[in-house]
Amino acid sequence: MRNVLLLLVLLTGLLSACNDKYKDPDPEAMGYDYFPLEVGDFRIYNVTDIRFKSNKGDTTRFQMRERVDATFYDQTNTLNYKVIRSIRVDASTPWVDDSVYTIIQNKTNLLLTKNNTKYVKMVFPVKEGKSWTADAFNDRFINVDEKERSSYTNVGEAYTAGENTYGNTVTVIQGTPSDGILILDDRKEVYAAEVGLVYRVFNKVIYCNDFNGECEFGTGYKLFGHERHETLLTHGKE
**Is residue 155 in a domain?**
yes
Average pLDDT over residues 200-220: 85
**Is residue 211 in a domain?**
yes
> Band of the pLDDT at 65, cuts 50, 70, 90?
very high
Average pLDDT over residues 156-182: 96
Instruction: Lowest mean pLDDT of 84-88, 129-133, 202-206, 215-219, name the range.
Output: 215-219
Q: How far apart are CA 104 and CA 84, in angstroms?
A: 15
pLDDT of residue 143: 58
**Is residue 73 in a domain?**
yes
Q: What is the CA radius of gyration of the chain?
A: 23
Answer whether residue 32 shows pLDDT above 50. Answer: yes
Render pLDDT for 10-22 as a digit per residue (tens, 0 to 9).
555 554 554 545 4
- Outline where 22-113 has alpha helix (H): 27-30
Average pLDDT over residues 197-222: 87
**Is residue 18 in a domain?**
no
**Is residue 197 in a domain?**
yes
Domain assignment of residue 113, given as a range = 25-237
Average pLDDT over residues 148-166: 97
**Is residue 20 in a domain?**
no
Render pLDDT for 194-209 as a digit per residue (tens, 0 to 9).
999 999 999 999 999 8
The CATH number for 99's domain is 2.40.360
**Is residue 5 in a domain?**
no
> Band of the pLDDT at 8, cuts 50, 70, 90?
very low
**Is residue 169 in a domain?**
yes
Total domains in the chain come to: 1
User: What b/e sequence results for 202-235 when a residue is b if at least 16 CB atoms lie within 10 Å of its CB, and e otherwise?
Assistant: bbbbebbeeeeeeeeeeeeebbebebbbbbbbeb
Render pLDDT for 124-155 as a digit per residue (tens, 0 to 9).
999 999 999 999 988 765 555 678 999 999 99
